[in-house]
Amino acid sequence: MTVLKNINLQISDNETTALVGESGSGKTTLLQLVNGLTKPSNGHVEVFDEKVDYENITDLRKKMGYAVQGGGLFPHMTVYENITVMAKLNEWSKDKIEQRAHYVIELVNLKKELVDRFPHNLSGGQQQRVSLCRSMMLNPELLLLDEPFSALDPITKGYIHEEFLKLQKAEARAIVIVTHDMEEAIKLADNIVVIKDGKIIQSGMTEEIVNNPQDEYVSELLNSISS
């Protein structure tokens, strides 16, 4: 079964790119190709201007942050342990871990009294903040977000969006966010890639997509915002 077809896509440095499309369109598969979780059956993937080396994929992933819907937190670890687990595995010093953890916790406005709690004691919005902290802990050059906000209620999602925008300004990096929500994509992304049935329907700067949809499907996504 072919999930993605003739994909040719370049992600810009220091900008946020949103992959938009309905469920099953291939958005998550594309993100997994970037992260090395899936290998392409044809063609190749380049990250940081080099072909992905699947024999040494761990080295590449250290340069990436990855966050998923629902947070994907380790239930047996506290909030602080979840945030700092990768730094510990990379043998960072205690002082360096504490300094970076404090910074990312402040950056996403996570309440300090939550750091000793376990994930099941947190709200959905709090779990998502923790997930963002963990994905940013190693200060990665590339941040991959797979529908990270889709399970949140509208009010909480609005707050998290504001934290995300603050994050973008505080630490410039390439960010790829998967979403089925065109309104979210327009709010958060510099560039939008619309995918349908494994094919790129339209891609470009957000303003260009909004003002000049080149496909009926893209128009439908835009019209869904006001419906």
| Tokens representing residue 200 in the block | 């790129």
User: Mind listing the pLDDT tens digit for each residue in 13-31?
Assistant: 889 999 998 888 888 888 8
Q: Quick one: average pLDDT of 121-140?
A: 91
212: CB partners within 8 A, 6+ apart: none
What SS3 class is residue 1? coil
Task: Indicate whether 2 pLDDT > 70.
Answer: no
Name, of 25-39, 61-75, 189-203, the range with top average pLDDT: 189-203
- Looking at the chain, list the stretches that DSSP marks H as alpha helix, in order from N- to C-terminal side: 27-35, 57-61, 79-89, 94-107, 124-136, 154-170, 182-188, 206-211, 216-226
Domains in the chain, ordered, with CATH?
Answer: 1-63+142-227 (3.40.50.300), 74-139 (no CATH)
- In this structure, the dihedral spanned by the alpha carbons of residues 210, 160, 47 and 97, taken in order and rounded to 10 degrees, is 160
Q: Beta partners for 16?
A: 175
pLDDT of residue 20: 94
CA distance 135 to 209: 29
Among 40-54, 119-133, 176-190, 210-224, which stretch is predicted with the lowest mean pLDDT?
40-54
Task: Indicate whether 36 pLDDT > 80.
Answer: yes
151: CB partners within 8 A, 6+ apart: 69, 70, 124
Q: Which helix (H) or strand (E) holds 66?
A: strand 64-68
pLDDT of residue 150: 81
